[in-house]
């Protein structure tokens, strides 16, 4: 079955202006001060025992990491979600699965990201992030966020960054950010278009299953981290 087409629009002039303003003002150290007195969990040391590592940001109920960790036992999968219901249920589901290469943390992912060593991840996935529609909240979208450049730093050369959304505008902004952010030159786009609905039991995450069941078109962007000497 052919997936429905999914147009990813160029962001409008106002969005471009606001993104560029946000990048020029970004001060990650200052942003992270809000967590300086918070007790944050440690990253699971056993995650780093695996040579190949994948991180799912805002993993919801963990469908993606549960399935992929069963398919790829030599890769470690870590999901992080802060939601009071989804994050808690995800951790329970992961503990119940009792799979050595599967890890889950019920916490906010933003202050956790600086804990990862540079170039320690083979894959980062972001499935159906909250679109933060009201313009006054757009600073919370990944494309505007001061943490965005860190995602690229954490990915190994040749590693991948995948983002899927039912919101075309969101992917348009993310695509613009990865192409124009002054600190994201290492990321090369490899795919932009509809999600793959041909795999058996399509629907990598709970939101994706819901969108497929209700006929909501979804799109995806994929990027690969360049080697230093690759243009
Ligand atoms: C729309 S849901 C998608 C969940 C899942 N990825 C899926 O596709 O089924 C967005 C998820 O991101 C989580 N989230 C948003 N911001 C987050 C943050 N800063 N840290 C951790 N989780 C976050 C929310 O709790 C929510 O579960």
pLDDT classification of 230: cutoffs 50, 70, 90: low
Residue 136 lies in a domain: yes
DSSP string, 161-188: EEEEES-HHHHHHHHHHHHH-TT-TTEE
Considering only CA atoms, which residue is closest to atom 5 of ligand 1? 60
Region 168-183 average pLDDT:
97
- Which numbered atom of ligand 1 lies nearest the CA of 164? 8
CA 143–ligand 1 middle distance (angstroms): 15
103 inside domain: yes
Range of the domain at 186: 13-24+50-225
Give pLDDT tens digits for 50-80: 999 999 999 999 999 999 999 999 999 999 9
Residues with C-beta less than 6 Å from any ligand 1 atom: 58-60, 80-83, 86, 108-110, 127-130, 205-208
Measured distance CA(85)–CA(188) in Å, rounded: 35
pLDDT tens digits, 99-131 = 999 999 999 999 999 999 999 999 999 999 999
Whether the CB-CB separation of 197 and 3 falls below 8 Å is answered with: yes
The domain spanning residue 88 has which CATH number?
3.40.50.150
If one counts the domains in the chain, the total is 1
How does the average pLDDT of the chain come out, rounded? 95
CA of 230 to the centre of ligand 1 (A): 33
* Ligand 1 atom closest to the CA of 80, numbered from 1: 21
In-domain check, residue 1: no
Residue 43 in domain: no
107 in a structural domain? yes
Rounded to an integer, the average pLDDT of 168-192 is: 96
For residue 1, pLDDT over 80 is answered with: no
Q: Sheet containing 52-57: which strands, arranged edge to edge?
A: 102-106, 75-81, 52-57, 121-127, 155-165, 219-225, 187-194
C-alpha 97 chain-centroid distance:
23
Pocket test for ligand 1, best of 65, 77, 81 (most atoms within 8 A of CB): 81
Cα(67) to centroid of ligand 1, in Å? 18
């Amino acid at each position: 079955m052919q997936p429905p087409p999914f147009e990813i629009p160029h962001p409008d002039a106002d969005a471009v202006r606001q993104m560029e303003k946000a990048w020029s003002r970004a001060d990650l150290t200052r942003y992270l001060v809000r967590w300086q007195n918070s007790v944050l969990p440690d990253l699971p040391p056993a995650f780093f025992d695996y040579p190949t590592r994948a991180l799912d940001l805002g993993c919801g109920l963990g469908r993606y990491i549960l399935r992929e960790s069963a398919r790829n036992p030599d890769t470690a999968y870590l999901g992080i979600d802060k939601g009071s219901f989804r994050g808690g249920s995800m951790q329970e589901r992961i503990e119940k699965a009792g799979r050595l290469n599967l890890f889950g943390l019920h916490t906010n992912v933003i202050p956790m990201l600086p804990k990862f060593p540079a170039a320690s991840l083979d894959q980062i996935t972001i499935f159906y992030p909250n679109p933060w529609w009201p313009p006054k909240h757009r600073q919370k979208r990944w494309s505007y966020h001061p943490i965005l450049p860190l995602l690229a730093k954490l990915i190994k050369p040749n590693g991948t960054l995948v983002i899927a959304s039912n919101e075309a505008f969101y992917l348009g902004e993310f695509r613009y950010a990865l192409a124009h952010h002054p600190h994201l030159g290492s990321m090369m786009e490899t795919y932009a278009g509809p999600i793959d609905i041909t795999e058996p039991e399509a629907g990598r995450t709970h939101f994706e299953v819901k969108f497929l069941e209700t006929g909501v078109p979804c799109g995806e962007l994929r990027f690969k981290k360049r080697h230093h000497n690759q243009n």
